[in-house]
């Protein structure tokens, strides 16, 4: 299996923005990526600010061009990335890992990683910049009670080169499922790690709190919920907030 072609940056405003610039000028190949422990102006979901402690937080981005993936099933890119992160965190003994739809990785019920896949659909190709922010060596999160890190969970600081190599291998492995023929299999693996799958949990929807059962996440990324009155409905991530 070929490895990703990764470059370490001593600092970067945002590793996703870095790759977007290269893509704009056609100066990047599928599998190229960058990472840094000093990201200064990170971007999160829906343009939010993503901050990480210098020398503790890993900001990692990779560019992949998918040729055999129907754009209806674009969420498989997020699923594959999430599964790769879980496999790596599990290898470094982080306990109780799950994927909180749509893009968070939890240890227990605390966030340890966020993923931001920025996709461009160009004819039959999907050009994707996959950004992964992992709390690695932080000792505490005073302002973020719902966050945790590899160090907090394991009392160990894995060497960064081992961590990057392991993540790179796992990304290559799970990305290979992002082809039309394999997405059902990927979806099965994804659901096995899905936080609160087939369980009831509270959501905030249109300003009200409602309990619903998580039925599944469709291949296009919509979540299917069943409410206590028996009604079933699909939602996009910006329409609902899970309370956990």
Residue 7 or 208: which CB sits closer to ligand BTN?
7
Which residue is it, tokens 């369980």? 199
Q: For the beta carbon of residue 118, count every other beta carbon within 10 angstroms.
A: 17
The rounded distance, in Å, linking the Cα atoms of 136 and 237 is: 26
Least Cβ distance, residue 1 to ligand BTN (angstroms): 23
- Contact residues: ligand BTN, CB under 6 A: 14-16, 39, 42-45, 48, 50, 59-61, 103-104, 114-116, 131-133
Name the DSSP class of 211: E
Minimal distance, residue 84 CB to ligand BTN, in Å: 14
Of 15 and 76, nearer to ligand BTN (C-beta) is 15
The least distance separating ligand BTN from the CB of residue 200, rounded to whole angstroms, comes to: 24
Cα–Cα distance, 4 to 1 (Å, whole number): 10
Any residues with CB less than 8 A from the CB of 53 and at least 6 apart, and which?
138
* CB contact at 8 A, 85 and 193: no
Name which of 69 and 117 has its Cβ closer to ligand BTN. Answer: 117
CB of 167: closest distance to ligand BTN in angstroms? Answer: 12
> Shortest CA distance to 186 belongs to which of 34, 75, 68, 21?
75
Minimal distance in Å, beta carbon 45 to ligand BTN? 4
- Is the Cβ of residue 61 or residue 149 nearer to ligand BTN in the bound state? 61
Cβ proximity of 105 and 113 under 8 Å: yes
Q: Looking at beta carbons only, is 12 or 187 nearer to ligand BTN?
A: 12
Contact 85, 108 (CB under 8 A): no
């Amino acid at each position: 299996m070929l490895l990703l072609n990764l470059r370490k940056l001593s600092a970067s405003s945002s590793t996703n923005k870095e790759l977007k610039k290269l893509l704009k000028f056609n100066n990047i190949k599928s599998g190229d990526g960058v990472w840094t422990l000093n990201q200064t102006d990170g971007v999160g979901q829906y343009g939010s600010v993503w901050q990480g402690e210098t020398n503790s937080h890993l900001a990692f981005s990779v560019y992949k061009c998918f040729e055999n993936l129907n754009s209806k099933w674009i969420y498989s890119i997020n699923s594959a990335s999430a599964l790769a992160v879980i496999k790596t965190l599990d290898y470094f003994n982080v306990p109780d890992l799950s994927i909180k739809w749509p893009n968070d990785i939890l240890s227990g019920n605390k966030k340890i990683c966020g993923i931001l896949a920025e996709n461009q659909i160009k004819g039959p190709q999907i050009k994707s910049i996959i950004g992964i922010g992992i709390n690695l060596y932080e000792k505490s999160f005073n302002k973020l009670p719902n966050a945790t890190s590899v160090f907090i969970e394991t009392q160990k600081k894995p060497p960064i080169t081992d961590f990057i190599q392991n993540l790179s291998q796992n990304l290559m492995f799970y990305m290979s499922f992002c082809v039309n023929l394999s997405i059902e299999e990927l979806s099965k693996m994804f659901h096995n790690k899905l936080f609160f799958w087939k369980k009831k949990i509270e959501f905030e929807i249109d300003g009200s709190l409602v309990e619903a059962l998580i039925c599944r996440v469709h291949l296009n990324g919509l979540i299917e919920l069943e409410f206590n009155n028996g009604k079933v409905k699909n939602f996009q991530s910006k329409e609902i907030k899970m309370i956990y």
